[in-house]
Amino acid sequence: MLFNLLLDTKDEQSIIYCSSPSRVRYLATKFCKFIRENIKNDEVADLDIVEWIQKNISKEWGLISLLGRKIGIHDGALQKHITTSIIEYFNNRQLNYLFCTTTIIEGVNTSAKNIIYFDSKKGMNISIDHFDYSNIKGRAGRLMVHYIGNIYNFNPIPDNHKTIIDIPFFEQNPISDEVLIKLDVDEVKNTNTDQYISIDSLPPEERQVISNNNTLVHGQKSIIDVLRKDILEKNDLISWDGMPKKEQLYYTLNLAWEFLIKPGESVRPMTINALVTVTQIYAYGQNIFELVDSNFNYFKRLSDGEKKSQYDGMTDTEIHDEAIMQSFKILKHWFEYKVPKWLSVINSLQEFVCAEKGLRAGNYSYFSKLIETDFLNENMVILSEYGVPSSAIRKVEKMLPKNISQDEVIATIKENRLYESKIFIDYERKKLMNSI
């Protein structure tokens, strides 16, 4: 029914709300196949991002086929420059269909003639409430373009119950350890609780370093205790700097895995062994290619193995697509945030313990910064924040003097019109020009 509706309104743009990134990709792929089977000689879009994908990700990525059939996808796993480009194509009417998650109502500037409320969930278990529904519905119709917008409901409209906004205060009960540890004694209403007594019992020096890290108080305390026990016997695993060996990386990340994962926090399908492996692959390959290949080979082994897996029955193309999307998720969740944060926390704790014992401390900051910034020099990161792909940033970096400031980077590119160089493909040139 959904696909027939989309074909019936193919001359109008449509946004299709889906519950999760996996649903976005599943429905978009099925619809692409439906178009091929039901429309002969349909118009195929020619978008400049396709060349970039072929050169920097894979010629086999299914997104190429989707874009060719004027189908876009939008979710939080994709790289920023890809999602912004897809929105630009959609706003310019180069795409007719946009399958999306709630990211579309979180600061994304787009709308369409038709909004299709297809799934009723956010993720697996959270129901769309009336507030969410109203935001989704509000994308129907574009000012000065459509006389009226349409909303197609494949689910009952959520009840208009009163929306409750939870605003946290220091008086909130219960208060987190991470907030409580920062309060002076005269700011604490009840100093006789087990929670406060436990935090107050920390030695002042420990309390200060733990407070500065803004994460699990007792998890950090446990790490300090382990480091004190291991500092002499396993000093080579603790006091490292530069690029860590696998054993050093495992020791450090295992501490984080054991003590810094918050109660109830989901890390599936990641494991500590897998995290160490993909971190090493990414750190030494310094691009997504090897990460994609590693994931593909792993998923392929699972599909061919005796044990049942989610990859059973998938074609190599489908497994390859899954490997690409999982690699993007790893980049987004683990490398842009989680791993650098963990390394920063444990770095400060090992510095504290080493100073306490009169030993030379390690320094994880170099490795942490490389992972977090996609191996770009600090003065070039601003271009990434502006939505320029790292492939273009690495090219332009070779054309600039070293150690210039971020402002000078932008000014030099603009004044010298560096984006006109033939080393850039059209997509990179456009993204670079738009950033300045």
User: Is residue 193 included in any domain, yes or no?
Assistant: no
pLDDT of residue 378: 87
pLDDT of residue 416: 93
Which residues, 6+ apart, have CB-to-CB distance to 186 below 8 Å? none
DSSP 64: H
User: Is residue 173 included in any domain, yes or no?
Assistant: no
**Distance (Å, rounded) from C-alpha 218 to C-alpha 362?**
23
Same domain, 208 and 347: yes
CATH number at residue 132: 3.40.50.300
Same domain, 206 and 142: no
Q: Could you say which of 346, 372, 398 is where a domain stops?
A: 372
Q: Could you say which of 372, 395, 412 is where a domain stops?
A: 372
Cβ contact 428:89 at 8 Å: no
Same domain, 250 and 328: yes
User: Is residue 287 included in any domain, yes or no?
Assistant: yes
Per-residue pLDDT of the chain (436 residues; tens, 9 = 90+): 899 999 888 888 999 999 998 899 999 999 999 998 888 766 677 899 999 999 999 898 999 999 999 999 998 888 889 999 999 999 999 999 999 998 776 656 777 889 999 999 988 788 888 888 888 887 776 544 445 679 999 999 988 765 555 544 444 567 888 888 888 777 788 888 888 888 888 899 999 999 999 999 999 999 999 999 999 999 999 999 999 999 999 999 999 999 999 988 888 889 999 999 999 999 888 888 888 988 999 899 988 887 888 888 888 888 999 999 999 999 988 998 999 999 999 999 999 999 999 999 999 999 999 999 888 888 999 999 899 999 999 999 999 988 899 999 999 999 999 999 999 999 999 999 988 7
User: Is residue 245 included in any domain, yes or no?
Assistant: yes
Same domain, 356 and 209: yes
Which of 109, 89, 77 lies closest to 48 in space, CA to CA? Answer: 89
pTM: 0.84
Same domain, 206 and 348: yes
Which residues, 6+ apart, have CB-to-CB distance to 73 below 8 Å? 24, 25, 28, 63, 66, 86, 98, 99, 100
User: Is residue 179 included in any domain, yes or no?
Assistant: no
User: Is residue 293 included in any domain, yes or no?
Assistant: yes
Same domain, 351 and 423: no
Same domain, 28 and 140: yes
Same domain, 393 and 284: no
pLDDT of residue 170: 44
Which of 346, 342, 431 lies closest to 80 in space, CA to CA? Answer: 431
Q: How many CB atoms lie within 10 A of CB 109?
A: 6
DSSP 162: P
Same domain, 352 and 260: yes
Q: ω into residue 244 within 30 of 0, thus cis?
A: no
User: Is residue 208 included in any domain, yes or no?
Assistant: yes
Residues paired with 127 in a beta bridge: 121
User: Is residue 182 included in any domain, yes or no?
Assistant: no
Token digits for 178? 């991470």
Total domains in the fold of the chain:
3
pLDDT of residue 41: 67
Range of the domain at 305: 202-372
Which of 90, 62, 75, 69 lies closest to 3 in space, CA to CA? Answer: 69
Q: Could you say which of 153, 173, 193 is where a domain stops?
A: 153
Same domain, 330 and 384: no
Same domain, 333 and 391: no
CA 165 to chain centre: 26
Same domain, 352 and 271: yes
User: In terms of DSSP H, where are the helices of 41-129?
Assistant: 49-56, 62-68, 80-91
**Distance (Å, rounded) from C-alpha 234 to C-alpha 249?**
13
Cα torsion 348, 354, 360, 364 to 10°: value is -20
**Distance (Å, rounded) from C-alpha 23 to C-alpha 42?**
25
